[in-house]
Amino acid sequence: MITIDHLSFTYPDGTKALNGVTLHIPTGGTTGIVGANGAGKSTLVSHLNGWFLPQKGSIIVDGMAVGKKSLDDIRKSVGLLFQNPDDQLFTARVYDDVMFGPSNLGMKRNEAEAATERLLREFGLWEVRDKPPAHLSHGQKRFAALAAVLVMNPKVLVMDEPTSDLDPRNRRKLIGLVGNLQATRITVSHDLDFIWETCSEVCVMNEGRIVAQGETKTVLSNRSLLENNGLELPLRLQDQISTDGRIRT
């Protein structure tokens, strides 16, 4: 479903953020991408909906090459939840932010309104639909941004650090929610326990390259691999801490 072939990307200031990334993600796959700060994770996933266009190499999503001509179709298929919700929410009203994608990508108005209401209610945001996004809590912003992505019913859902501002209850809610989605999913996260619970495959990135890839439990329990790439074992595997987070005595 997604084929990334020798993708490289350099920012205008000369920073080489991606250095020949090759990756295949099957339809219905759930893939985690982990790596230290600056490894290139956000740059990589920002290519999947054409936010960045390939400078070198190619990306094929659902049979379409990501490029200028295919942008509208790509954005109907691929929903990207940005690392920073402020990049997703830019109108004066939560409701309008969720309606933005459907209005611009040609969904019928009544269908868009029904999907928007359903998601805002499901995420506990219906009461705040007229507020400016800036007045929401971090957690509410995250779910509003997710509603703005899911309203398009994307075949592929890409999430960049989705749990970074969620409290434990909302984090748990997100785990339940993504577990019920049919979409092919790609998740970037520092929260290796979140990846453990929501992804069946993991890629490890370092300096713009994919340095390891495999089944989640194998990759995320490989302490030396993680440590060599600036990461630590998931909390659930750290000796002194049990899975409920309490220190063992």
Ligand X SMILES: Nc1ncnc2c1ncn2[C@@H]1O[C@H](COP(=O)(O)OP(=O)(O)O)[C@@H](O)[C@H]1O
Which residues are at the interface with Mg ion (CB under 5 A)?
42, 83
First to last CA, the chain: 47
Using the minimum distance from each CB to Mg ion, give the nearer residue, 45 or 66: 45
Q: Which does 17 bind (CB under 5 to 8 A by kind): ligand X, Mg ion, none?
A: ligand X
- Decide: is 11 part of the binding site for ligand X (CB under 6 A): yes
Q: Which residue(s) pair with 8 in the sheet?
A: 19, 56
H helices of the chain, in order, are 41-45, 71-77, 94-104, 109-122, 138-150, 168-179, 192-198, 216-220, 223-228
Stretch that binds ligand X, among 20-28, 40-48, 54-62, 89-97 (CB under 6 A): 40-48
Residue 42 makes contact with ligand X by CB under 6 A: yes
**CB closer to Mg ion out of 120 and 157:** 157
Gap between the Cα atoms of 1 and 129, Å rounded: 35
Using rule CB under 6 A, residue 15 touches ligand X: yes
Among 38, 132, 214, 230, binds ligand X (CB under 6 A): 38
Regarding 162 and contact with ligand X (CB under 6 A), the answer is no
Sorted by sequence, the CB contacts under 8 Å of residue 239 that are 6+ apart come out as 248
Span of 13-21, 94-102, 141-149, 240-248 interacting with ligand X by CB under 6 A: 13-21
Q: Of 31, 43, 187, 216, which one interacts with ligand X (CB under 6 A)? A: 43
Distances (CA, A) of 156 to 75, 116, 131, 193: 10, 19, 29, 22
- The residue within the footprint of ligand X, chosen from 32, 40, 54, 162 (CB under 6 A), is 40
> What is the rounded CA–CA span in Å between residue 43 and residue 40?
5
Least Å distance, CB 190 to ligand X, is: 9
Instruction: Compute the distance between CA of residue 71 and CA of residue 176 in angstroms, rounded to an integer.
Output: 31
